[in-house]
């Protein structure tokens, strides 16, 4: 049953009033890694400058490399200098912030290192700094189980009752397994020493302001929610495109591929927010219940029907903005005969009352023409009478675009009459842009997510059954592909919008992709 304090919580990401300002300590495992340097410490520094961190607080970095407090602080300062942005990108308050940072050298499989961690926490004078703990596992997923085992053995992590004096929370980064079986094993290991409500699985996409705004847009605007169903909507497209290749991540990508790396988490999470039913409240469990119900309503794609509903692709050499790009098989640490997909497009149906018969097209890929994430809702065309019956008019169906990144905003396309003495029409666009409307700094995803961890609000995090349901969807697709080699219709040049087969996927239903446009 949901905690009463959560039931009365304000909408996720929509309130400046924090629900908890209890002092706490954040322990970052993998403190010498890229995520800590590039995202976590800059996010914490921003929060500190905005007065949103609890007082007091401490951050303890835990990693194998031999560093002192001062040397680690120096590295983190460099990270803030390079990666911080917005109103607090200076270092005026760095020294007072850095006084709360310390470093502990230790190996993840060394029990004495965890004993030393417990001793370090005991040195903090404020009792809440020892009782309220966030363990951020910025490490390889294969080491999650080892870390929670060692934390438990050191007395730092327990399955706490609701009325416990303090709290302990474990934050884990994706990937959450590589298939359903490994995800189930990982989840079982995590909850061996912590309750599900103590586990916070991060998908940074859910921390983006524009992704959070999907719920606000849908459920606070009657003019759109009335149309959000099969009666008015013809189909929905969700595009997450990247204009870079795999770069130095070739080894990881050979194991993961785009289906596991992007479709299983980011795109299915966006789909669940776009299509879910209104939750009875904004309590974390109510919101997550509706997301899971939506994912479970997706019509299963069996291995036998994969070819009909899913397209994969792999990029070969091309150019983006006159910059030459090598093919995937020429990338570092990639098999020269690799069949790993760098592009996926899928056609899903949601078998419930609201969405029956409405196709949802999802696509994501690397080395596409530009970096963009957007949701396009295509409304049904008007009846073939009056203006729609005339062949000489440029009449297009209405469309609503939620641009998640970059150039964040919402755009509505409708038909308008061109001024003059003849009846001529042209599609026009109403535009809302975050920058022009609010003119304010949009918080980085990790800022919001770190705040929610400290507040104990799991709304923006992924629950165990969400993870496992998503894996059920993609496992069947992988089984359908099997060991079949990439075909000519599945390859695409870097700098194009994907393979020919992806266009055919929509053309069979009389639809076509809407490609995101560059910023203007």
Assess whether 266 carries a catalytic annotation: yes
Q: What pTM was estimated for this model as a whole?
A: 0.89
Predicted local confidence at residue 266, as pLDDT: 92
> Residue 49: which of 6, 80, 94 has the closest Cα?
94
DSSP code string of 12-41: TT--SS-S----EEEEEETTTSHHIIIIIH
Rg of the chain's alpha carbons, rounded to an integer?
24
Predicted local confidence at residue 291, as pLDDT: 96
Per the CB < 8 A criterion, the answer to whether 419 and 19 are in contact is no
Predicted local confidence at residue 13, as pLDDT: 42
Predicted local confidence at residue 2, as pLDDT: 40
Predicted local confidence at residue 384, as pLDDT: 63
The DSSP call for residue 263 is: I
272 φ/ψ angles, rounded to the nearest 5 degrees: -65, -40
Distances (CA, A) of 210 to 85, 230, 374: 18, 24, 10
Question: CATH number of the domain at 24-173, please?
Answer: 3.40.50.720
Distance of alpha carbon 487 from alpha carbon 313, whole angstroms:
9
CATH 3.30.360.10 assigned to domain 207-507? The reply is: yes
DSSP code string of 447-470: HHHHHHHHHT--TTSB-HHHHHHH
**pLDDT averaged over 10-residue windows placed end to end, the chain, 520 residues:** 37 43 93 92 92 94 94 93 70 92 95 96 91 95 93 94 87 90 94 94 86 89 92 97 90 91 93 96 93 96 94 95 93 93 97 97 96 94 66 75 88 79 74 75 83 93 95 95 90 96 95 84
Domain limits, the chain: 24-173, 207-507
Mapped onto helix, strand or coil, the DSSP state of residue 311 is strand
The residue annotated as part of the active site, out of 46, 88, 266, 309, is: 266
Predicted local confidence at residue 14, as pLDDT: 40
Do 207-507 and 24-173 fall under one CATH topology?
no
Predicted local confidence at residue 84, as pLDDT: 72
> Residue 371: which of 240, 263, 237, 265 has the closest Cα?
240
């Amino acid at each position: 049953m949901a905690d009463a304090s959560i039931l009365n919580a304000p909408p996720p990401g929509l309130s400046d009033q924090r629900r908890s300002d209890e002092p706490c300590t954040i322990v970052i495992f993998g403190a010498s890694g890229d995520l800590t340097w590039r995202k976590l410490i800059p996010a914490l520094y921003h929060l500190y400058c905005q007065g949103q961190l609890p007082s007091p607080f401490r951050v303890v970095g835990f990693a194998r490399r031999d560093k002192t407090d001062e040397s680690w602080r120096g590295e983190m300062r460099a990270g803030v200098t390079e990666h911080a942005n917005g109103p607090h990108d200076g270092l005026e308050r760095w020294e007072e912030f850095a006084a709360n940072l310390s470093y502990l050298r230790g190996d993840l499989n060394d029990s004495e290192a965890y004993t030393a961690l417990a001793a370090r926490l005991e040195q903090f004078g404020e009792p809440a700094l020892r009782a309220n703990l966030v363990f951020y596992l910025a490490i390889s997923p294969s080491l999650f189980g080892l870390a929670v085992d060692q934390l438990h053995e050191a007395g730092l992590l327990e399955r706490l009752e609701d009325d416990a004096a303090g709290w302990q929370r474990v934050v884990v980064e994706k990937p959450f397994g590589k298939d359903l079986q490994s995800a189930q094993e990982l989840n079982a290991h995590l909850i061996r020493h912590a309750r599900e409500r103590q586990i916070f699985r991060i998908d940074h996409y859910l921390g983006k302001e524009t992704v959070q705004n999907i719920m606000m847009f849908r459920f606070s605007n009657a003019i759109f929610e009335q149309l959000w169903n099969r009666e008015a909507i013809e189909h929905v497209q969700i595009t997450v495109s990247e204009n870079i290749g795999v770069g130095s991540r070739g080894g990881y990508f050979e194991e993961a591929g785009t289906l596991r790396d992007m479709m299983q988490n980011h795109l299915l999470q966006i789909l669940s927010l776009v299509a879910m039913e209104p939750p009875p409240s904004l309590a974390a469990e109510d919101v997550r219940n509706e997301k899971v119900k939506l994912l479970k309503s997706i019509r299963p794609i069996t291995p036998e029907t994969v070819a009909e509903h899913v397209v994969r692709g792999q990029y070969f050499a091309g150019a983006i903005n006159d910059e030459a790009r090598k093919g995937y098989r020429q990338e570092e640490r990639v098999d020269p005969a690799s069949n790993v997909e760098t592009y996926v497009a899928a056609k899903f149906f949601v078998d419930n009352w609201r969405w029956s018969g409405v196709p949802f097209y999802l696509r994501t890929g690397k080395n596409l023409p530009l970096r963009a994430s957007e949701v396009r809702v295509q409304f049904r065309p008007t009846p073939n009478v009056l203006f729609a019956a005339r062949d000489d008019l440029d009449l297009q169906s209405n469309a609503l675009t939620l641009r998640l990144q970059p150039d964040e905003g919402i755009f509505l396309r409708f038909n308008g009459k061109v001024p003059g003495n003849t009846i001529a029409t042209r599609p026009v666009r109403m535009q809302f842009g975050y920058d022009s409307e609010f003119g304010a700094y949009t918080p980085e995803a990790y800022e919001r997510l770190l705040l929610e961890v400290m507040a104990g609000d799991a709304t923006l995090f992924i629950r165990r059954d969400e993870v496992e349901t998503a894996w059920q969807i993609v496992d069947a697709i992988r089984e359908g592909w099997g060991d079949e080699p990439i075909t000519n219709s599945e390859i695409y040049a870097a700098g194009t919008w994907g393979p020919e087969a992806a266009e055919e996927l929509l053309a069979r239903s009389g639809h076509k992709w809407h490609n995101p446009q560059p910023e203007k």
